[in-house]
Amino acid sequence: MPHPPPFSPSLIAMEISGDLDGYTYYVNKNRKVVCYPAAPALRPPTPRQQVERARFALAMRAWKLLPSSEQQVYNQACDDMSLCMWGANLYSLIALTDTGGLRKTIESQVGYALAVPPQLTPPGILLPGTIQNELLAWIAQKYPP
């Protein structure tokens, strides 16, 4: 029988979700924090999962390489539009899903320009050469054969 977690998750946050100290936490529909011991995956990730994880990792790497002044612009846009996200979330959303319209709409609503993130198109669509190579390199590093 697993031991209970060493602390009350309600002391940390109202909306806890994810793995922490060997336990997985989430908030159920009744707003109660649920906790159970973290369990490792039974199977290795599928190729599609590997591609999705690589795309997200590349989007986050691009965010970290963005100058802090540009990061602040994204954070300010989230504040100005009362979005329930911060700049990195918006940046990765645009990088992973936008075909050009979302960023332009946000720019027109806030009145200033946002840095253009790399276009990490959805899987199944042929990716440009450099992005395709970066995805394959990330997958090979993270999931060696």
Same domain, 76 and 105: yes
Instruction: Compute the residue count for the chain.
Output: 145
Percent of the chain clearing pLDDT 90 (strictly above): 28
List, for residues 10-56, the tens digit of each pLDDT value. Answer: 555 556 677 877 888 888 888 777 888 888 888 888 888 888 888 88
Same domain, 65 and 123: yes
Enclosing domain of residue 29:
1-40
Q: Which residue has the higher pLDDT, 22 or 92?
A: 92
Most confident of 34-43, 74-83, 94-103, 125-134: 74-83
Task: Write out the two tokens for 119.
Answer: 């276009």
Same domain, 56 and 76: yes
Q: What is the per-residue pLDDT for 113?
A: 93
The model carries a pTM of 0.66
Q: What is the per-residue pLDDT for 107?
A: 93
Same domain, 65 and 10: no
Best CA proximity match to 130, nearest among 140, 122, 120, 139: 120
- Spatial distance between the Cα atoms of 73 and 102, rounded to a whole number of angstroms: 16
Q: What are the residues facing 26 on neighbouring strands? A: 34
Question: How many domains is the chain built from?
Answer: 2
Task: Name the E strands within 4-139.
Answer: 18-20, 23-27, 33-37
Count of CB atoms situated within 10 Å of the CB of 34: 12
